[in-house]
Copies of this chain bind each other. A is one copy, B any other.
Amino acid sequence: MFSKACEYGIRAAIYIGQQSTDSGRRVGLKDIAAEIGSPEAFTAKVLQQLVREQLITSVKGPTGGFELTAEQLRTVTLRQIVVAIDGGAMLQGCALGLPQCSARQPCPMHYQFLPIRDQLNELLRTHTIGELASKVHDGLGFLKQFG
């Protein structure tokens, strides 16, 4: 579905969001990677992308780390994370790979796939990082497998 980079990015963003909500404290890369079960250096690259897109915030130096501002928690959606990392292809492209699939020259599955992809888009668009973070906080969702 999504690339590894994107999966790490989403899980990391939610974890950072959870810590920002919870205790208002920043989290370091090492912490993040450990808590979401991802390779540290690779996760760093992904987070850099998200910082550049201003979907998360980073601070250098001692007491530094990653955080989500109150506004980011409220407004950044899953969709923005996905688009920032994987681009829009998966959310718009043809399921059978036709470069210009549309009603004018639809692939044989075009009209069957449309509603599903619309639902997926809607799903990503309507869920904010803050919302998902609070779900993790309440123990209703996990970012890593335990026990």
Taking CB atoms, residues of chain B closer than 8 Å to A106 are: 140-142
A105: CB under 8 A from chain B? yes
Which residues of chain A from 64 to 115 have a CB within 8 Å of any chain B CB?
78, 90, 93, 95-100, 105-110, 112-113, 115
Taking CB atoms, residues of chain B closer than 8 Å to A120 are: 116
Taking CB atoms, residues of chain B closer than 8 Å to A113 are: 123
From B4, B109, B116, B127, A109 is in contact (CB under 8 Å) with: B127
A145: CB under 8 A from chain B? yes
Size category of the binding interface on chain A: 35 or more
Taking CB atoms, residues of chain B closer than 8 Å to A8 are: 97
Per the bound structure, the CA–CA distance linking A136 and B136 in Å amounts to 47
Q: How far is the CB of A2 from chain B (nearest CB, A)?
A: 7
Per the bound structure, the CA–CA distance linking A32 and B144 in Å amounts to 45
